[in-house]
């Protein structure tokens, strides 16, 4: 099949997207520039974001190349089951809205290291701030840039390295405008993301119908379920090829909750969207994001399954091969985009770019926030003016993006599949961090020694499991090597060990009693939130029951 790059109408559609986003961002920036810019306004847009801007920004920061490319690739290889990361996130967002947000907002918490400093001490806060900076740059920024450039290059025909620089520069332009610009431009980014993503899904499924001599999306879905029945099951049994990635019921009652609760509730570049709002607005925004999460698998997973069915039919055999001549699942989405008709390809290309740029901007802003407010202001420049703090924040954004570009080719992102790479690397930190947060929230005897063990000791345990040098695997699992234990189960084990040690240290060491201000009334929700949450819960029950 001949490579079919972007045509004139595609570039026109993409140009419209670029002008709308850039123009709106400039308008927002100029509007707020009339006011004196404070660090809280730049990093948090305190009191400025509406519920729909918060919800859209949450999704825009979350959905990126790792979903469009990585998750579609996993849809190609393992099917609908990978959607559990999206659908369980919807349930997790409800938990975060009900329990996490009231605690943050009641205690005037604006950054995650600030929480650790207030609840524990400066040592715990500094160590975690450094951990987060390394994770956001070495894993998040690098993977988004690498996978994003891979996709953009595959669709546009432009040089891979050029694509990486262009994406980074576009994201920098948005990010240096501050959180308010990011938040409101994210609304437009999400609009293009959803419209373009749905267009790609529609045409991919329609192409399945065409290749089998019929027409229509409904018929296409029927043919997909008929010809790839193994790709429409949510729960893998032990012994299944993909059990190591998604081990059975762990996705419902095990490690998947640690992944999601840590990501959505203890993660600076996610929670930052809601931390500048009042509780009612924050919850409404989180609920809106949860509804959008239900939609995401249609956009990022179904195209991958459609690509699998088409590949089985004999299409794009050569296009799916990597440079080493081996099938590369992460090429599924870019290959599909190349099959779209002129004009619509530009729309889908805009959706992909929107996801990449919005997510890059979100990560970069959070890197800047943590470094500037939690490290520089706290340890290096206590008397720095608000204007200079904002300037330092902007410099950090550029430095972080350039560092990610240089590092990304060295990370081996393409070897295990982009989405799995991100989850595996993040999983080294998640169990201990989540233990430190959840125990700090709800158990007053939790002390700084316990938090330090969870954060540092949890990482070391997870890393030694990853290297397969942690002893005693046979005590916990029916296995002879940690390589035989799914990483989600490894995360669950590390989390439980961290919690157990924190309980012991809480009783053995002197009582610090640095609990947060918590009132049971904080956890009451409005009727509208309760109804929305019930609808989401019911939808999830139906989905897992039908596709079990």
Q: How far apart are CA 547 and CA 540, in angstroms?
A: 11
CA 101, 499, 451, 359 torsion-angle sign:
negative
pLDDT at residue 42, as a whole number: 61
Residue 36 has pLDDT above 60, yes or no: no
Q: What is the mean pLDDT of residues 85-95?
A: 94
- pLDDT the model gives residue 44: 57
Cα separation of 297 and 542, whole Å? 15
Of 433, 427, 509, which Cα lies nearest the Cα of 465? 427
The per-residue pLDDT for 57 is 78
Check: CB of residue 340 under 8 Å from CB of residue 203: yes
First to last CA, the chain: 37
Question: pLDDT grade, residue 448 (50/70/90)?
Answer: very high
Q: Closest Cα partner for 286 from 277, 296, 295, 299? A: 277
pLDDT for the residue 13 = 82
As a whole number of angstroms, the distance between CA 137 and CA 19 comes to 28
pTM over 0.75: yes
Q: Which of 3-7, 227-231, 485-489 has the lowest mean pLDDT?
A: 3-7
Q: Which residue has the higher pLDDT, 326 or 445?
A: 445
- Burial status of residue 191 (CB atoms within 10 A of its CB: 0-12, 13-18, 19 or more): middle
pLDDT tens-digit series, residues 123-140: 988 988 888 898 889 888
Q: What is the pLDDT of residues 248-278, one digit of tens each?
A: 888 888 889 998 998 888 887 677 777 767 8
Lowest mean pLDDT among 46-50, 253-257, 261-265, 325-329: 46-50
Give just the sign of the alpha carbon dihedral 94, 95, 96, 98: positive
Q: How high is the pLDDT of residue 35?
A: 52
In the chain the domains, ranked by start, together with CATH numbers, are 8-23+49-418 (1.20.1730.10), 427-517 (no CATH)
Would the CA dihedral through 79, 85, 88, 89 be positive or negative?
negative
Take residue 356 and report the two structure tokens written for it: 């990449």
Query: Higher pLDDT residue, 528 or 323?
Result: 528
Closest CA to 360 of 49, 62, 111: 62
Say if residue 323 is exposed, middle or buried (CB neighbours under 10 Å; 0-12, 13-18, 19+).
exposed
Average pLDDT over residues 484-511: 91
With 90 as the cut, is the pLDDT of residue 343 above it? Answer: no
Say what the alpha-carbon torsion angle 194, 198, 200, 203 is, to the nearest 10 degrees.
-160
The per-residue pLDDT for range 130-169, each reduced to its tens digit, is 888 988 898 888 888 888 888 788 777 788 889 889 889 8
pLDDT 10s digits, 396-433: 999 999 999 998 887 776 665 566 777 788 888 889 99
Contacting residues for 105 by C-beta, under 8 A, at least 6 apart: 275, 277, 278, 279, 282
Q: How would residue 18 be classed by pLDDT, with cut points 50, 70 and 90?
A: confident
- Please count the helices (runs of H) and the strands (runs of E) in the chain: 28, 0
| Sign of the torsion angle spanned by Cα atoms 371, 375, 380, 383 | positive
pLDDT of residue 2: 42
CA 39 to chain CA centroid, nearest Å: 25
How far is it, in rounded angstroms, from Cα 63 to Cα 73? 15
Task: Identify whether the C-beta of residue 348 lies closer than 8 Å to the C-beta of residue 197.
Answer: yes
Question: How far is it, in rounded angstroms, from Cα 192 to Cα 353?
Answer: 9
Strand partners, 236: 247
**Separation of alpha carbons 186 and 183, rounded Å:** 5
Rounded CA separation 172/365 (Å): 9
d(CA 54, CA 271): 10
The pLDDT score that the predictor gives to residue 1 is: 41
pLDDT-derived band at 293, boundaries 50, 70, 90 = very high
Q: Please, what's the b/e burial string for 45-79 (b: 16 or more CB within 10 A of its CB; e: otherwise)?
A: bbebbebbbbbbbbbbbbbbbbbbbbbbbbbbbbb
Pairwise CA distance, residues 25 & 185, whole Å: 6
pLDDT at 3 over 80: no
Contact predicate 70/418, CB 8 Å: yes
Q: With contact defined as beta carbons under 8 Å apart, do 149 and 167 qualify?
A: yes
Averaged pLDDT score across all residues of the chain: 84
DSSP 514: -
**pLDDT for the residue 32:** 61
Q: Which residue has the higher pLDDT, 57 or 495?
A: 495
DSSP per-residue string spanning 354-374: HHHHHHHHHHHHHHHHIIIII
DSSP 145-170: HHHHHHHHHHHH---HHHHHHHHHHH
- Residue 138: phi and psi, rounded to 5, are -75, -30
């Amino acid at each position: 099949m001949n490579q079919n790059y972007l045509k004139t109408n595609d570039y026109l559609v993409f140009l419209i997207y670029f002008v709308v986003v850039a123009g709106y961002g400039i308008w927002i920036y100029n509007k707020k520039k009339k006011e004196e810019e404070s660090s809280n306004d730049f990093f948090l847009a305190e009191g400025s974001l509406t519920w729909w801007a918060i919800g859209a920004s949450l999704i825009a920061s979350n959905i990126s190349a790792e979903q469009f490319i990585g998750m579609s690739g996993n849809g190609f290889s393992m099917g609908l089951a990978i959607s559990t990361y999206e659908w369980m996130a919807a349930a997790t967002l409800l938990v975060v809205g009900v329990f996490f947000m009231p605690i943050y907002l009641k205690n005037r918490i604006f950054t995650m290291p600030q929480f650790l400093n207030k609840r524990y001490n400066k040592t715990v806060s500094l160590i975690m701030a450094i951990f987060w900076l390394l994770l956001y740059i070495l894993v998040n920024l690098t993977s988004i840039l690498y996978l994003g450039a891979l996709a953009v290059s595959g669709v546009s025909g432009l040089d891979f390295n050029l694509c990486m620089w262009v994406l980074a520069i576009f994201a920098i332009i948005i990010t240096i405008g501050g959180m308010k610009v990011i938040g409101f431009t994210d609304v437009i980014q999400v609009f293009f993301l959803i419209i373009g993503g749905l267009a790609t899904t529609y045409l991919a499924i329609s192409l399945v119908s065409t290749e089998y001599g019929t027409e229509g999306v409904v018929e296409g879905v029927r043919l997909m379920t008929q010809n790839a029945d193994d790709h429409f099951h949510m729960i893998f049994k032990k012994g299944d090829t993909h059990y190591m990635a998604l081990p059975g019921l762990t996705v419902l009652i095990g490690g998947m909750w640690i992944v999601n609760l840590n990501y959505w509730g203890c993660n600076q570049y996610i929670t930052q969207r809601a931390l500048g709002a009042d509780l009612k607005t924050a919850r409404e925004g989180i609920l809106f994001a949860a509804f959008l999460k239900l939609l995401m698998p249609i956009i990022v997973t179904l195209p991958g399954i459609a690509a699998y069915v088409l590949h089985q039919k004999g299409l794009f055999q050569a296009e799916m091969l990597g440079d080493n001549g081996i099938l590369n699942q992460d090429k599924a989405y870019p290959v599909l985009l190349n099959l779209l008709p002129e004009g619509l390809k530009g729309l889908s290309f805009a959706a992909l770019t929107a996801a990449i740029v919005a997510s890059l901007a979100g990560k970069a802003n959070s890197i800047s926030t943590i470094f500037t407010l939690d490290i520089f202001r706290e340890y290096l420049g206590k008397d720095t003016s608000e204007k200079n703090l904002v300037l330092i924040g902007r410099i950090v954004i550029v430095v972080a993006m350039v560092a990610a570009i240089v590092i990304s080719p060295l990370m081996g992102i393409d070897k295990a599949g982009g989405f799995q790479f991100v989850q595996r690397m993040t999983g080294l930190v998640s169990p201990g961090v989540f233990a430190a947060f959840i125990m700090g929230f709800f158990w007053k005897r939790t002390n700084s020694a316990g938090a330090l063990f969870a954060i540092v000791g949890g990482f070391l345990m997870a890393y030694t499991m990853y290297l397969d040098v942690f002893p005693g695997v046979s005590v916990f699992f029916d296995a002879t090597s940690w390589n035989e234990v799914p990483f989600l189960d490894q995360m669950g084990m590390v989390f439980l060990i961290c919690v157990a040690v924190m309980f012991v240290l809480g009783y053995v060491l002197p009582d610090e009693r640095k609990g947060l201000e918590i009132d049971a009334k904080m956890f009451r929700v409005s009727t509208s939130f309760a109804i929305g949450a019930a609808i989401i819960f019911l939808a999830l029950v139906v989905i897992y029951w039908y596709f079990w």
